[in-house]
Amino acid sequence: MTNVFKLKHEPTTLPDELWVEIFHHATFVDGTSGPSIYAYAERYGLHNRGNSPHELALRRSLTETRRHLPLVSRRWHRLATSYLYSSIWVNDVNVLPSLAATVSEPRPKGAHGLDAALGSYTKRLDVVLKDYTAEIDPSTCTQDFPNLADIIRSLPRLAVLVFASEMSDHSYLPEDILEAICSHRGIRALEWRTRALNPSPSQIITLLSSGSLLCPRILSCKHAALPSIHDGSTPPAAMQSLEFLSLDSLGWLSELTCDSFPHLRYLTIKESACTQIMVMFLESLGRPLTSVHYVVEPGQIADPFLLPTIARHCPNLTRFTFSIPANVFFDAGQFPLPSGTMRLPPVKRLAFMLYNGSEKDKAAPTCNHIWNLLKALTTRFPSIRVIEFLNIHIRYKSLLATAPSRLSGITFEYEFIDE
């Protein structure tokens, strides 16, 4: 008689610590939070960040992976909830009241008492509110968005706060939201990417004057400007913690000294900025800078006066990045950089980052003018050892993949995207 042994197969059980590590890798998006956001800001600047591959990957992570992990089982719900709330993306005014209640109320923890509130898990908040529609409940929609201020106050570990709303009727930031931001000790990256809910010039001064509490390393107000001349009062106290800065107009900041921003190293400037004020700013604060991201806006060309000024007043730059609309970069007739007269500081890295322009390509793409420019620059400025092409659409790969032999001494680095 043959004995038949039935084997009992037990499902593989992983310890909680290993599942947490798996969830971390499954939800992590480089360049959107933590230390990696600073490396990302250094490489890509503080302009046109909302449509980058990193930001798109964050949205996918929020709407897909992080939403579904807690639904698998009770155990996964317990372990993955912190990842679900680690980043919050708000695009509907109607959800503000319920979200404020959710992030502020303690979670029940059975016999062990109360667990931390869900808001204690949040490290990044993206405010991307849209214009009101007829379906929006007027009882939850007020001019001042009081719930949004409450939400910010309920996120004690908030480190990254991004405003990218598209609301035409709300051009300035409500005061209660400004107060919530200025009193938050944990925010390290503070960005406004659109004109909606944008801080006014006086609010920018308030932000700069709140350095004893608010200590960001990144401050970017793409469409905000300071007044060029103050009313006789003392210029605002500056943020000692600030390392990355981008404003539409630097205004009063041109009257400050290096002591006002002792850690400022990375500056994003736009071609449309007032050249005279920019020159004054660079004269006062240019020496400590190590990286400048120069944004050439659609229809503009690089200022032949500002570039030598940067070279003269920023002797410690190691990296210089041109941000150029994609539709003119490969068009020799519209290329915005002068090849014969352009001056640069003695940088080691020269980068070209492309972003979406307002027009479609008008000519067949070519890159001979790019190679000619690079040959002229590397000859006049032999300190350049690395040239980067960033955010380049994959369709242009064949044009840039092989550099001509006359640039054989230069290291080329590429980042191609297919979005």
Q: What is the distance, to the nearest Å, from the Cα of residue 29 to the centroid of all Cα atoms in its chain? A: 13
Q: Looking at the domain assignment, is residue 44 inside a domain?
A: yes
Q: Looking at the domain assignment, is residue 185 inside a domain?
A: no
Q: Count the neighbouring beta carbons within 10 Å of the beta carbon of residue 243.
A: 20
Q: Looking at the domain assignment, is residue 363 inside a domain?
A: yes
Boundary residue ending a domain (59, 84, 109): 84
- Give the chain's domain count: 2
pLDDT at 178: 92
Boundary residue ending a domain (33, 50, 84): 84
Q: Which of 409, 356, 406, 359 is nearest to 382 (CA)?
A: 409
Q: Which domain holds residue 32?
A: 17-84
pLDDT at 177: 92
Question: Over its length of 419 residues, how does the chain's per-residue pLDDT go in tens digits?
Answer: 555 555 554 445 788 899 989 988 888 887 788 788 888 888 888 876 555 555 666 777 777 788 888 888 888 888 888 888 899 988 888 889 999 999 987 765 543 444 678 899 999 999 988 765 444 444 444 455 779 999 999 999 999 999 988 877 666 888 999 999 998 988 999 999 888 888 887 888 788 777 667 788 998 887 776 665 555 555 555 677 889 988 777 766 666 666 778 889 999 888 766 667 778 888 888 889 999 998 888 777 777 777 788 888 888 999 999 988 888 888 888 888 876 667 777 899 999 998 875 545 556 788 888 998 888 888 888 899 999 999 888 888 888 887 888 888 899 999 888 76
Helix or strand run (H / E) with residue 281: helix 275-285
Query: Which residue is associated with the tokens 């941000």?
Result: 323
Q: CA-CA distance, 119 to 102, in Å (whole number)?
A: 8
Q: Looking at the domain assignment, is residue 194 inside a domain?
A: no
Q: Looking at the domain assignment, is residue 223 inside a domain?
A: no
Q: Looking at the domain assignment, is residue 263 inside a domain?
A: no
Contacts 24+ apart (CB under 8 A), 391-398: 391/44, 391/52, 391/53, 391/353, 391/354, 391/355, 391/415, 391/417, 392/354, 392/416, 392/417, 393/326, 393/354, 393/417, 393/418, 394/418, 396/330, 396/365
Q: Looking at the domain assignment, is residue 169 inside a domain?
A: no
Strands of 283-410, DSSP E: 291-295, 319-325, 349-355, 386-393
pLDDT at 46: 82
Helix or strand run (H / E) with residue 104: helix 96-104
Boundary residue ending a domain (84, 118, 140): 84
Burial pattern 99-138, b for ≥16 Cβ within 10 A else e, equals bbebbbeeeeeeeeeeeebbbbbbbbbbbbbeeeeeeeee
Q: Looking at the domain assignment, is residue 140 inside a domain?
A: no
